[in-house]
Amino acid sequence: MAAKKYSFAVGEKGFLMDNVTTSGQSDVILETQGLTKHYGGVHALESANFKLRKGEHVAIVGDNGAGKSTFVRQITGVEQRTRGDIIFDGQSVNFTGPLEAREAGIETVFQTLALADDLDVPDNIFLGREMTKFDWLGPFRILDYKGMRQATIDGLNRTAVKIPNIRNTIRYMSGGQRQCVSIARTASFHSKLTIMDEPTAALGVQETTQVEAIIKALKQNGEPLILISHNMRQVFDLVDRIVVFRRGRICGNLRREETNPQDVVAYITGAKTGKEYEATAL
Amino acid sequence: MADTSHGTGGLSFDKSKKTWPSELNILLALVIIIVLFEIIGQVAPYMRGQSFLFDTKDRFDSIFNEARLKIIILQVAIIGIIALGVTQVIITAGIDLSSGPLVAATAMIAMSLAQTELVNGFPNPKAVFGTWAMDLPLVIPVAAGLLFGAIIGAINGMFIALFRIPPFIATLGMFLICRGIALWWSGGNPISFPTASYAFIGSGMMPVVWFVLLAIIFQFIMSFTVYGKHTYAIGSNEEAARMSGINVKRHKILVYTIASTLAAFAGVVLSSKAVTAQAGMGEFYELFAIAMAVIGGISLAGGRGSIIGTVLGAMVIGVIRSGFTYIKLDGSYQLIAMGAIIIAAVVLDQWRQKNTASR
Structure confidence at residue A281 (pLDDT): 56
Structure confidence at residue B3 (pLDDT): 39
Q: What is the pLDDT of residues A78-109, one digit of tens each?
A: 888 999 999 998 889 988 877 788 888 888 88
Does the structural domain A26-277 have CATH classification 1.10.3720.10? no
Structure confidence at residue B224 (pLDDT): 95
The mean of the pLDDT values for chain B is: 88
Q: What is the pLDDT of residues B204-234, one digit of tens each?
A: 999 999 999 999 999 999 999 999 999 999 9
From chain A, pick out residues whose CB is under 8 angstroms from the CB of B227: 139-140
CA distance A109 to chain B (A): 11
Q: Domain range spanning residue B199?
A: 22-42+66-352
* pLDDT over 60 (residue B13): no
Q: Is A201 on the interface with B (CB under 8 A)?
A: no
Structure confidence at residue A14 (pLDDT): 36
In this complex, which of A129, A137, A171 lies closest to B356 when CB atoms are compared? A171
Percent of chain B exceeding pLDDT 70 equals 93
Mean pLDDT, rounded, for B115-130: 83
The whole-angstrom distance between residue B346's C-alpha and the CA centroid of its chain comes to 17
Percent of chain B exceeding pLDDT 90 equals 60
The whole-angstrom distance between residue B119's C-alpha and the CA centroid of its chain comes to 34
CB atoms A153 and B303 under 8 Å: no
Domain-embedded: residue B3: no
Domain-embedded: residue B205: yes
**Which CA distances in Å does B240 have to A86, A138, B237?**
25, 22, 5
Structure confidence at residue B229 (pLDDT): 95
CB atoms B4 and A164 under 8 Å: yes
Q: Is A276 on the interface with B (CB under 8 A)?
A: no
Q: How far apart are CA B17 and CA B14, in angstroms?
A: 6
Q: Is B304 on the interface with A (CB under 8 A)?
A: yes
From chain B, pick out residues whose CB is under 8 angstroms from the CB of A145: 224
Domain-embedded: residue B9: no
Domain count, chain B: 1
Main-chain dihedrals φ then ψ at residue A91, nearest 5 degrees:
-125, 140
From chain A, pick out residues whose CB is under 8 angstroms from the CB of B5: 162, 164
CB atoms B11 and A176 under 8 Å: yes
In this complex, which of B8, B10, B240 lies closest to A116 when CB atoms are compared? B240
Q: How far apart are CA A12 and CA A155, in angstroms?
A: 10
Structure confidence at residue B152 (pLDDT): 97
The full set of domain ranges for chain A reads 26-277
Structure confidence at residue A8 (pLDDT): 43
Task: Give the pLDDT of chain A (282 residues) as one tens digit per residue.
Answer: 444 444 444 333 333 333 334 344 578 899 999 999 999 888 899 888 999 998 899 999 998 888 898 899 899 888 889 999 999 988 899 888 777 888 888 888 876 667 888 898 899 888 888 889 998 888 899 999 999 998 888 777 766 667 778 888 888 787 777 877 887 777 777 678 999 988 888 777 877 887 888 888 888 888 899 999 888 999 999 999 999 999 888 988 999 888 888 899 999 988 888 777 766 655
Q: What is the pLDDT of residues B44-77, one digit of tens each?
A: 888 777 788 887 777 777 778 888 888 899 999 9
CB atoms B221 and A137 under 8 Å: no
Structure confidence at residue B354 (pLDDT): 74
Structure confidence at residue B314 (pLDDT): 95
Which residues are A28's β-sheet partners?
A: A53
From chain A, pick out residues whose CB is under 8 angstroms from the CB of B229: 119, 123, 127, 130, 143
pLDDT band for B203, please (50, 70, 90 cuts).
very high
- DSSP secondary-structure letter at B128? -
The whole-angstrom distance between residue A74's C-alpha and the CA centroid of its chain comes to 13
In this complex, which of A123, A130, A204 lies closest to B10 when CB atoms are compared? A204
Mean pLDDT, rounded, for B323-349: 86
pLDDT band for B180, please (50, 70, 90 cuts).
very high
User: Residue B44 half-sphere exposure, CB side, CA atoms within 13 Å?
Assistant: 15
